Structure 1
Amino acid sequence: MDQVLRQKPRQSFAGLWNISFGFFGIQIGFALQNANMSRVFQTLGSSIDDLPALWVAAPLTGLLVQPIIGHLSDRTWNRLGRRRPYFLAGAILSALALFLMPLSPAFGAPLLFAAAMLWLLDASLNISMEPFRAFVGDMLHADQHAAGYAVQTAFIGAGAVVGSIFPWFLEQAGVSNLAADGGLPGTVKWSFWAGGIALFTAVMWTVFTTREYSPEQQAAFAEEQARAPAPPVDALAGKSYRASALWIAAGVAVLLSVDWAGFEKEVLLLGALLVAYGILSALGIGLARRGRTTNMLSSIVGDFSGMPPVMKRLALVQFFSWSALFIMWINTTPVVTQYVFGSNDTTSVAYNEGANWVTVLFTVYNGVAAVAALLLLPWLSRKVGQVMTHSICLTLGAAGFLMFFAVRDATMLLVAEVGIGIAWASILAMPYAILASNLPQAKLGIYMGLFNVFIVIPQLLVATVTGSIMQALFPGEPVWTMLFAAASWLVAAIAMLRVKATLPHAGQG
């Protein structure tokens, strides 16, 4: 790759494999987190109502980390390349968090330590994950973007299968599945330790088997030169402080409403974040007005306020898509153990059988996603286009959530996971394929980071607001969250239909 290229060469399947194989390991980490952290928190003494507050660490770290990593990776070039330094750093820190998590009971405040490790794990996974999203766009020609994200989604599904099924597999192999003396079950501990090794190994595969295009080569690609935009930060100096004031006012209103409306204390975090964004955006505008447009704050604020139309409409879809997913990850264990297996006692055989069944359910939806990404999505997108494909898949996922609300048979819930798995595959592939083909290459990292903010914001809302709503309307009845999840995906399916008008290429429709 030392010569100057005028067009990105097409990658073979082996090339597509190497580019995305690291995501297999990253998703093992996410799957272990998603399928087991509610169980870990409950085993360490947390109540159902406290779970959203403990989970809030995960989306908060993503909100802070991803735009920063996207901004930095766009501007990085060293011996490892542009994105790969972040793959390596994230893998090391993620493996450390996965190793330490099972040791939580040995610390004086085990619940607090587990929450801190969740924070470290999610931040570290995001350090690796965000550049992986941009990496596909960096390495592939536009006509391979859909294939690249499909392969990445297949690895995500496969990694999630491995991460989700491992506790169940260990139990079948004779490892204890019961928590004894205030500790965590052996199935959970060994799953986290094995997951850390697998994550690090997979990411290292991509680091050592790929070589990135140099900045000079990236600049030489004619299609990328044609799409190079005027930096949105240049327009930031012309903006007023009105929007910043409105963000601050909204945050203050939320903070004041906590006592007035009797919301859970986690809602204070939401208000604080709104105030913080208002202040940071005002600072960014102020710096831009003084001609200081090269700093990180002004660049991120400028890019956020100057998002392309296609990204704005997809952001709404992402908001509702990920609201439902976070509801699922928090509440599937309480719903299945309480309504299907009939126990809330974390020391009981019934509860732990139910919790392990959740890992089987998560394995199924991730396995379905891996197959759908390679077989169903390419076929369906050729027939009806990427926009309609995503809308249809989200509707199938909503039907799966409705089954959780109505069905009380453990085996029948496997059918629900088929619909959820199809939707999950589409969520991981379709929006990113559309974006990678319609965004400027030079800013792909920051735009992917900012796009993922719309994954994080709904998770924060679910973590801060849903607990208050459920406590007020359906105390001790987590099954109602599945109805909210179904409605959220139906809204996302409808919102997706508005995206087509923003696409310049008919083939993307």
Structure 2
Amino acid sequence: MSTGSRPHLSLLRIIEMNVGFFGLQFSFGLQQANMGPIYAYLGASEAMIPLLWLAGPMTGLLVQPLIGAMSDRTLSPLGRRTPYFLVGAVLCSAALFAMPRSSALWMAASLLWLLDAGNNVTMEPYRAYVADRLPPHQRSAGFLTQSAFTGLAHTASYLAPSLFTGIIDRHLLGPSGIPDIVRLAFLIGAVLSLSTILYSVLRVPELPLSAGERAAIAARPLTARNTLAEIRAAIAEMPGPMRQLALAMLCQWYAMMVYWQYIAFALSRSLYGSVDTASENFRDAVLTGQQLGAIYNAVAFVCALTLIPVVRRLGARKVHVACLAAAGAAMIAVPFTASFPVLALLMVGIGLGWAGMMGNTYVMLADSIPPARNGIYMGIFNMFIVIPMLLENLTMPLIYTPLLGGDARNALILAGMLMLLGAAATRLVSVGGPPNRNSGAN
């Protein structure tokens, strides 16, 4: 739809349209906080864990560009984006329900493929829905609200197992060694995944397409050939500023993948002096890592909201440089810290980085792409996330022992160094300056 046809939305409506993002990100948070330990409980070695995370980047690489292009050309009574929200939410709910009941490593790995497929079917149409629904001057608020919900959802999902220790003995284990507190957290995630999406699409439905827009879509119907042709054309015509974001995205997402996979193993060594994944000390380290994750995600939630006026004044680029630098310094310091209060303080830096990654990069992207191609470019931009993740999954098993000494603490130091490199690379991006320099602001 044309820019002029997008009504100004109140902050309450912007929040309501992003409630579904809470359920989607609760699912991601459960995955980030628990899949490494779940794989360890089922017998996986530390070095091989990245390979078992291949589902996320592979489904993102294959699914999101296709779904983004398809949603741009979908005509349905529910709208362009909503059918994808609903299908993805159902897949996520089914996978979340079954995951902690896995009886073998292959079962957990297979369910992760289903979970990530559902998440990826939903993700980019949801981001395109926000860009569709909001006029350009409200996009920063829309995407940073998404970032806030990401922080809030991840805080809740990371903290859930620790909270459940108040009502369930944390030492109670399922048949495969997966704690009951984790099983309950995944059940709640299954409920939230579907219910929050339904709330958002009912409260803030998509805007109807104009007759001209419907005619343009109908003139080039949704087919596999047209979809692939559209993706090829969009990649060939990718705006320069979007290409400039690639290096920064490579560094920051490789780093975060390393952090999620190895934080529990690093804390098990630095705080509890254990490398035995079947021990009580390791389970305590997992809970500690989740509590720290809840802290950095709570910081991200608060920062995503407080960064809105800062981004409006200084621009997303400068703010993002500072966010990544803070995260990098914190990650490097974590392996050398044996005090929980100091670790909690370091989570402020990681929270700043995470808030920036989930908000600032999309503000810069939205400034550089044509509105008619929001869906496909949001999908292609996801390749800037999943390709670094894929590289991490494939390269970490190769370098974990020979270069990092088989020590998860060294993996976190590597992650911090990459975050600092990502901050330097962000300075090279030509969009994301103060709003009066951005042609999209009005």
TM-score bracket for the superposition, by shorter chain length = over 0.9
- Give 1:431's match in structure 2, choosing from 345, 361, 368: 361
Supply the distance in 2 between the matched residues of 1:487 and 1:176 (Cα, whole angstroms).
Answer: 35
Conserved 8 A contact 1:97-1:118: yes
SS at structure 1 position matched to 2:408: coil
Q: What's the CA shift string for 1:198-230, capped at 9, x where partnerless?
A: 12111111121122122217849xxxx9xxxxx
SS at structure 2 position matched to 1:179: coil
Partner of 2:41: 43
Show the 5 A alignment for 1:49-68.
49-68=47-66
Q: CA deviation at 1:183?
A: 3.1
Q: What's the CA shift string for 1:317-360, capped at 9, x where partnerless?
A: 21111111111111111111122122222332211111011111
SS at structure 1 position matched to 2:334: helix
Partner of 2:327: 397
Uncovered stretches (5+) of structure 2, i.e. residues with no partner: none
Partner of 1:301: 232
- Give 2:178's match in structure 1, choosing from 170, 179, 184: 184
Deviates more, 1:365-374 or 1:399-408: 399-408
Deviates more, 1:465-474 or 1:364-373: 465-474
- Give 1:420's match in structure 2, choosing from 322, 335, 350: 350
Is residue 478 from structure 1 mapped to residue 393 from structure 2 by the alignment?
A: no
Q: CA deviation at 1:370?
A: 0.5
Aligned AA (1:59):
P
Q: CA deviation at 1:415?
A: 1.3
Show the 5 A alignment for 1:60-209.
60-105=58-103, 110-179=104-173, 181-209=175-203
- Give 2:23's match in structure 1, choosing from 25, 40, 45: 25
Conserved 8 A contact 1:43-1:179: no
TM-score scaled to structure 2, two decimals?
0.93
Partner of 1:408: 338
Conserved 8 A contact 1:434-1:508: no
Conserved 8 A contact 1:61-1:123: yes
Supply the distance in 2 between the matched residues of 1:7 and 1:202 (Cα, whole angstroms).
Answer: 27
Q: CA deviation at 1:378?
A: 2.1
SS at structure 1 position matched to 2:407: coil
Is residue 463 from structure 1 mapped to residue 393 from structure 2 by the alignment?
A: yes
* CA RMSD in angstroms, aligned pairs only: 2.3
Q: CA deviation at 1:300?
A: 1.2
Supply the distance in 2 between the matched residues of 1:293 and 1:173 (Cα, whole angstroms).
Answer: 51
Is residue 451 from structure 1 mapped to residue 378 from structure 2 by the alignment?
A: no
Conserved 8 A contact 2:326-2:349: yes
Q: CA deviation at 1:175?
A: 3.7
175 and 130 in structure 1: CA distance in 2 versus 1, 3 angstrom threshold: farther
Conserved 8 A contact 1:178-1:347: no
Conserved 8 A contact 2:315-2:432: no
Q: CA deviation at 1:313?
A: 0.7
TM-score scaled to structure 1, two decimals?
0.81
Q: CA deviation at 1:456?
A: 0.3
Q: What's the CA shift string for 1:462-502, capped at 9, x where partnerless?
A: 11102211221233211111121111111111111111269
Partner of 1:333: 264
Show the 5 A alignment for 1:365-376.
365-375=296-306
Supply the distance in 1 between the matched residues of 2:385 and 2:155 (Cα, whole angstroms).
Answer: 22
Partner of 1:252: none
Conserved 8 A contact 2:270-2:337: no
Q: What's the CA shift string for 1:149-184, capped at 9, x where partnerless?
A: 111111111111111111111112234344355331
Q: CA deviation at 1:380?
A: 2.6
Supply the distance in 2 between the matched residues of 1:294 and 1:316 (Cα, whole angstroms).
Answer: 31
Moved over 4 A (4+): 217-220, 501-506
Supply the distance in 2 between the matched residues of 1:210 and 1:175 (Cα, whole angstroms).
Answer: 41
Identical counterparts, % of pairs: 35
Q: How many residues align?
A: 433
Aligned AA (2:323):
C
Supply the distance in 2 between the matched residues of 1:5 and 1:348 (Cα, whole angstroms).
Answer: 58
Q: CA deviation at 1:305?
A: 2.6
Conserved 8 A contact 1:310-1:502: no
195 and 175 in structure 1: CA distance in 2 versus 1, 3 angstrom threshold: farther
SS at structure 2 position matched to 1:351: helix
Partner of 2:288: 357
